[in-house]
Chains A and B, each alone.
Chain A
Amino acid sequence: MSDTTSTGSGAATPTRRQLIVGLVRYGMFIALALWLVAMSLASEYFLTPTNILNVMRQAAPVIIIGVGMTFVMATAGIDLSVGSTVALVSVLTAGWLALGLPAWVVLPLVLAVGAAVGMANGFIITLGVPAFVVTLAGLTSIRGFAFVYSDGYATPITDPVMIWIGRGDILGVNTPFAISIAVAVLGWFLLNRTRFGLHALATGGREEAARVMGLAINRIKILVYAMTGALAALAGIVVSARLSNGSPNSGVMLELEVIAATVLGGTSLFGGRATIAGTVVGALLIYFVRNGLNLLGVNPYWVQVVTGIILVVAVLMNTVLNQKVESWARAAGEDES
């Protein structure tokens, strides 16, 4: 653009600037890497394949639902009902398998239930009720359904397909984590390479602009909630399979972990900015921190405190600091050109 930036300092400053912008933008990736290194030095049990794969298995449900939540937040929405959907799917799966229905019937059916629940959420939201209220109502009533259906009892699961989903592995990777990575890759593709992902981001970025550009905003909203509902159902299958039972108490507070992971990763609560890779890293960070502190023998109650502090610091970095640094870098860049 300009022929005045030929001095030596002009070449060095942009590099340093890019470094600082990168440090802030990829802060969570760096934090995760640093934590992994620190924990490897602090505990001999941390960096073992068994431990690592175990943490990944624990994180799988949060990653799976987090992919959907990333889309919901891209549209400036939120879904508090996912933990309850996990419980509903858990009792339905166990109940229907106990009736003697084969897994290949039950699994598609419960995924459809999850999608239908999400679609209902999305539809009510398009009528103008805030997403927070709609899905908060979902949080209580869907778990209520789970209790009504199961009468409060857990049902054991013995189906071999379910056992494989919960405890088997694919090429040495446990099935839950393998499923979560497959979901994340598909989610990344959908968000970054397809019209649907772009329109979801546009809807959350500035709804009025998306509207006058003729985007089908209501359809997009219903789809992101339906997708999140279906993914919550998938997570419900994984959770029940791992525990070998269907319980109306499964997935309690899971919605908050999913939201925490998504926000930790850098997706904006206000819409328009979303990252699937960030969500995966956010989920892994939460579970590796918990695992590391456990291995160090830290009081588990402190783990909750630490998780909360990390969340606040991360949001601070993602919103305030990130914006400041990027506009600073931009201003500095414009001065030179």
Chain B
Amino acid sequence: MSANLIEMRNISKSFGAVTALSDVTLTLPHGSVLGLVGDNAAGKSTLMKVLAGAITPDRGKILIDGAPGRYSHPIGARDAGIEMIYQDFALVPDLTVAQNIFLGREIMRSVAGVPILDRKTMSARARELFAGLGLRVPSVTLPVVALSGGQQQAVAIARATAFNARLVIMDEPTANLGAPAIEKVRETITRLKENGVAVIIISHRLEDIFAIGDAMMVMKQGRVVGTRAVDDTENAEIVEMIVTGRDPRERTAVPA
């Protein structure tokens, strides 16, 4: 077992003439919580989509637990234990909670050699998941469209953790949520960490990362500005890095 769960090395990606990521390197120890911050168009979401297999990088490589991760598809990333919770949750509104959780990874049973959906087992597993996470939904057989925003997020979190995830990536998990729901998300992230699951949070809300994170990485215009341990920095320094795109410590480190 390598010391780090994830190492992304020298990742670059362009969309036509636009350079979305240039030479980005990210290191994530096992079971740690990393905040990924930066202005709009900093490349945070693109970097995470690369990690989640939704975008294939032009250059660079990803090591998972020291071994090169080769996948070009979200399924491949999920098989490697990397799950992403999208900002819009990526749920199908008319499908039930249980159907959404197991979408693409359904539990099947065989009747006379014909594989059919094992709805009972999936519902039971879904209920266990919610209980284990300390999250609540009215019923796992209700269509997702009938749930509140916070409950839909609970479904997305349950789906992300249903299959032995080692890393859960959350894209703006506290945007559009009320204070009690934000508290719930923080609790959930802390609980994941206690269970040895690493979490990367893309967030505009620095206070969330200061509250529950171990480290943060600042990006601007597709490059890494700098990385800090949460207990070795403060709000003002991070804001400065986000705005100026420069690491103040590197500047002072250069002998005058």
CB distance from A68 to the nearest CB of B (A): 20
Interface pair B78/A214, CB less than 8 Å apart: yes
**Chain B window 98-133, contacts with chain A (Cβ cutoff 8 Å), 1 for yes, 0 for no:** 010001101010000001110000000000000000
Interface pair B106/A198, CB less than 8 Å apart: yes
Taking a contact as CB atoms closer than 8 A, the residue among B74, B91, B108 that contacts A206 in the complex is B91
Q: What are the residues of chain A within 8 A of B94 when measuring CB–CB? A: 201, 205, 272-273
From A274, which residue of chain B is reached at the shortest CB distance? B94
Report A170-211 residues with CB < 8 Å from chain B CB. 193-195, 198-199, 201-202, 205-206, 208-210
For the complex, would chain B's binding face be called helix, strand, loop or mixed by DSSP majority?
A: loop
CB distance from B131 to the nearest CB of A (A): 14
CB distance from B136 to the nearest CB of A (A): 9
B90 contacts chain A at the CB level, 8 A cutoff: yes
From B136, which residue of chain A is reached at the shortest CB distance? A1
**Chain A window 235-268, contacts with chain B (Cβ cutoff 8 Å), 1 for yes, 0 for no:** 0000000000000000000000000000000000
B210 contacts chain A at the CB level, 8 A cutoff: no
A202-B103 contact in complex given A209-B92, A214-B75, A330-B146, C-beta closer than 8 Å: yes
Taking a contact as CB atoms closer than 8 A, the residue among A193, A202, A210, A212 that contacts B54 in the complex is A212
Interface pair A195/B106, CB less than 8 Å apart: yes
B134 contacts chain A at the CB level, 8 A cutoff: no
A213-B115 contact in complex given A195-B106, A330-B146, C-beta closer than 8 Å: no
Interface pair A213/B106, CB less than 8 Å apart: no
Taking a contact as CB atoms closer than 8 A, the residue among B75, B78, B86, B117 that contacts A194 in the complex is B117
Interface pair B95/A201, CB less than 8 Å apart: yes
Interface pair A205/B93, CB less than 8 Å apart: yes
Q: What are the residues of chain A within 8 A of B104 when measuring CB–CB? A: 199, 213-215
A214-B73 contact in complex given A201-B95, A206-B92, C-beta closer than 8 Å: yes
Report A9-42 residues with CB < 8 Å from chain B CB. none
- A193, A212, A272, A326: most-surrounded residue (chain B CB, <10 A): A212
CB distance from B135 to the nearest CB of A (A): 14
- Total number of A-B contacts with CB less than 8 angstroms? 63
Interface pair B86/A193, CB less than 8 Å apart: no
From A212, which residue of chain B is reached at the shortest CB distance? B90
B138 contacts chain A at the CB level, 8 A cutoff: yes
Bound Cα distance A210, B95 (Å): 11
Report A279-337 residues with CB < 8 Å from chain B CB. 326, 330, 337
A210-B86 contact in complex given A193-B116, A195-B117, A272-B94, C-beta closer than 8 Å: no
CB distance from B195 to the nearest CB of A (A): 23
Bound Cα distance A224, B75 (Å): 23
Interface pair B75/A205, CB less than 8 Å apart: no
Bound Cα distance A202, B116 (Å): 17
Taking a contact as CB atoms closer than 8 A, the residue among A193, A213, A326 that contacts B90 in the complex is A213
Q: What are the residues of chain A within 8 A of B75 when measuring CB–CB? A: 214
Interface pair A208/B93, CB less than 8 Å apart: no
Taking a contact as CB atoms closer than 8 A, the residue among A215, A273, A337 that contacts B103 in the complex is A215
29 residue pairs bridging A and B, Cβ less than 8 Å apart: A1-B138, A193-B117, A194-B116, A195-B106, A195-B115, A198-B95, A198-B103, A198-B117, A199-B103, A201-B95, A202-B99, A205-B93, A205-B95, A206-B90, A206-B93, A209-B91, A210-B92, A210-B103, A212-B74, A212-B86, A213-B74, A213-B90, A214-B73, A214-B74, A214-B75, A215-B104, A272-B95, A273-B94, A330-B146
